Amino acid sequence: MWDRSESDRFVLCSERIIVECKRCGERLVLLGLEDDWYSEGRTTFECECGELLTFADRLDEEALSATELLRRFRRAREG
């Protein structure tokens, strides 16, 4: 049997950026630093609905964490 190490199952990245489409609410996770994307010439990203997203559509990570925590709390109380 082939045993894969932990490093084979994960990709290390220096940062993650989450942008959200204001039209449909879809979220796109970009791995790496913002400067990396700029150096690649990528400043816009297309949502599945066709809307163009930029770094200006970035979600606030702290607010996102608080929202997720509240969502989990509600589920725990309902379940």
Q: Is residue 68 part of a domain?
A: yes
4 occurs within a structural domain: no
The range of the structural domain enclosing residue 34 comes to 12-78
Residue 7 included in any domain: no
> How many structural domains are present in the chain?
1
Q: Decide: 28 and 19 in contact? Cβ < 8 Å.
A: yes
Torsion of CA 32, 35, 36, 40, to 10 degrees: 140
Whether the per-residue pLDDT at 4 is higher than 60: the answer is: no
In a domain, 3, yes or no: no
* Residue-level pLDDT at 53: 97
pLDDT at 71: 82
User: Per-residue pLDDT for 72 more than 80?
Assistant: yes
Contact present, 30 and 59 (Cβ < 8 Å) = no
Confidence of residue 65 (pLDDT cuts 50, 70, 90): confident
